[in-house]
A and B are shown apart, each in its own frame.
Chain A
Amino acid sequence: MVQPLNGHDKPRLPETHYLDNRIFTEEGIFQEEREKIFAKVWQFACHESEVEKSGDFRCVRIASKSVLLVRGPDGVVRGFHNICRHRSAEVVREDSGNAHVFTCFYHHWTYGLKGELRGVAKPAGYDAVKLDKKELGLVPVRCESIAGLIFVCLDDQTESLRDFLGEIVTGFLEPLGTVPMEVFHFHKAVLKTNWKLWQDNNSERYHSMLHVANRKTLPWVLGNTSPMKLRIEAKGHSGYWADGGEAVVDYAKGGYSTGAEGTLPSMRPDEMRVINLFPDVMINIRSNVVRLDRMVPLGPDRTLVEWRGLGVKGDDDKMRAIRIRQHNLFWGPTGRNLPEDILAVESQTRAMAADEVRYSIIAREEDINPTDDANIRSYYQEWRRRMGKSPATFA
């Protein structure tokens, strides 16, 4: 007679098919992730439209560090550590804006848009030591972009952005990178959950049954087969879409407004595409509108999530209203899906903290249909490679 497993017994599954929940709850693991993952990978910072003109800047947090992104007079977007060379105060204290120069509020050292130190207050005081301003610009941070998405990387040894992303770019290069896009929507929240659980939520389609709207409009996700197939790429990146764009959402069946107008390049009317970049970026496309999720992990059980909505720059009012409506219907703060997803991942975090059930199961094998867990397994193999330990056994 088979005995039920104790809450701390390992599932009788291959080690790749389950996770130790303590990877989601322990402070030590979180600190290691900051050092071994977030300080090493390319991380999405903002969209190019957020720093459109010379002097436009954005301040973002990457691995607990403040990073300044600014478009220079030469049109190049550069990244810098947002720290004054003088006494290490933050030079910029706003989330965004436009500047001709950046003057540190503390002692008024002033930097140009290319990060160069332009001037210091009361300069004669440094004559005796022959202070060389040319040596003391803002410390640069690697900054590259693809399809309008600006990424930064804190590690000089990491490969180029294009090499880091590999073939997963085929999912979003055309829809996001062919016509100029802009951010029309931004909201954020601190979720009471671990950052990986939010990534998992967008990676696995098995939870489509959670959503009223998805149950009504995505029957092919819950069916035995689906035109939408998993795309599992190197380095933990994944996505799902249909080669011919056949994975279309039946909005009318659910009684919702269609997303057929103004489709983005290479997208079919009402087509849906999902791309998940390791470790914490999500690109969701509903034919005519894009949702981007960016995470700032704050602790093992706290994650700041930023949501952006993107449409085509230059839309007339009617077209923009259509994109906004389609975006908000599912992904806005009052959208159909987002409130439910958040309830789910916060519930996981509350339950995992009790450590009564120690393991999560990621064992579905369904011929790479969207409800297969193969992409999550691939993601955690990349986590294992970078962390140097198994997410199932810590070995």
Chain B
Amino acid sequence: MAAAHGQVTGNLRMNADIVDIEAARELVQRTAILLDDEKFDDWIGLFDSGGTYELSAYSTEIRRWMTWQLSDRDALEKMLQEVNEHVRDPARRRHVVGIPLVELDGERGKVTSHFSLFRTSPEGQSSLYMVGCYEDLIVKRSGAWLYATHKVIVDTRMLDMFTHIPV
């Protein structure tokens, strides 16, 4: 009986873990879709109150890691509020994100996901814009997983176009 009870508890625990893992994966996919659809307010809503967005790359020329952008929620809001004031790349963008690797530890977790980002010009010509990975730290708040750190590490350093929109 005790063994059966242990089995049930274990199954429940496993089910809870699977639910959380799926939620973390969905967070990453939702992040990409919200950016592609330019729903910036909803995108910022995926960050914890103290959450940060970081874009980084390694330079083989100067042989060091670089931070290309590090923004808290306030700075992201300011940046994204001004997107439509800028003269900007007219291409639409589409992320393709691989299945995230999720490692949870209670109410916190680490999520690693590879991604590619494509641009399609108004004329309909598509090209690969960027390849990289997300190395995210997430926290559970009121049942929802949010970004404590949403870190983008880009492999692509020769960009066809620069951007006012996060990647």
Mark A residues whose CB is within 8 Å of B. 50, 58, 94-97, 183-190, 210, 212, 255-257, 306, 308, 321, 324-325, 328, 332-336, 338-340, 342-344
Most buried by B among A186, A321, A335: A186
By secondary structure, the B interface counts as loop
In the bound assembly, the distance between CA atoms of A1 and B87 in angstroms comes to 38
- In the complex formed, the residue of B with least CB distance to A213 is B82
Chain B, interface residues (CB within 8 Å), range: 20 to 34
Binds A, one of B1-9, B42-50, B62-70, B96-104: B62-70
Against A, the Cβ 8 Å flags (1 = close, 0 = not) of B145-167 are: 00000000000011111111010
Which of A97, A189, A212 sits near B85, CB closer than 8 Å?
Answer: A212
CB-based contact B86/A189 at 8 Å: no
Q: How many angstroms between the C-alpha atoms of A312 and B153 in the bound complex?
A: 25
Q: Are A338 and B162 in contact, with the CB atoms below 8 A?
A: yes
Q: Is the CB of A334 within 8 A of B163?
A: yes
The smallest beta-carbon distance between A302 and chain B, in angstroms, is: 12
Would B88 and A334 count as touching, CB distance under 8 A? no
Is the C-beta of B57 less than 8 angstroms from some C-beta in chain A? Answer: yes
Closest B residue to A215 using CB positions: B85
A255 touches B59 (CB 8 A): no
Q: A188-B61, A324-B67 are in contact. List 5 more A-B contacts (CB 8 A).
A: A325-B70, A328-B70, A336-B82, A339-B86, A339-B89
Would you call A333 and B62 a contact (CB within 8 A)?
A: no
Q: Would you call B62 and A332 a contact (CB within 8 A)? A: no
Asked if B142 CB lies within 8 Å of chain A CBs, one says: no
Q: How far is the CB of B80 from chain A (nearest CB, A)?
A: 11
Which residue of A97, A255, A334 is within 8 Å of B162 (Cβ)?
A334
Check B141 for interface membership: any CB of A closer than 8 A.
Answer: no
Known contacts A255-B78, A325-B70, A343-B87; A96 and B61 CB within 8 A of each other = yes
A-B contact pairs, 28 of them (CB 8 A): A50-B62, A58-B61, A95-B61, A97-B63, A184-B64, A186-B59, A186-B62, A187-B57, A188-B61, A189-B158, A189-B159, A190-B158, A210-B87, A212-B82, A257-B75, A306-B61, A324-B70, A325-B70, A328-B69, A328-B70, A333-B55, A333-B68, A333-B163, A334-B69, A339-B88, A339-B163, A340-B87, A344-B87
B125 within 8 A of A: no
On B, residues with C-beta under 8 Å from A are 55, 57, 59-64, 66-70, 75, 78, 82, 85-89, 157-164, 166
| CB–CB A339/B67 < 8 A | no
Q: Which residues of B contact A335 (CB under 8 A)?
A: 162
Considering only CB atoms, which chain B residue lies closest to A47 in the complex? B62
Name the CB-closest residue of B to A190: B158
* CA–CA, A306 and B88, complex, Å: 21
Minimum distance in angstroms from A281 CB to a CB of chain B: 17
With CB as the reference atom, state the residue of chain A lying closest to B165.
A334
B160 to chain A: which residues have CB within 8 Å? 189
Least CB distance, B154 to chain A, in whole angstroms: 9
Query: With A and B bound together, what is the CA distance between A338 and B163 in angstroms?
Result: 9
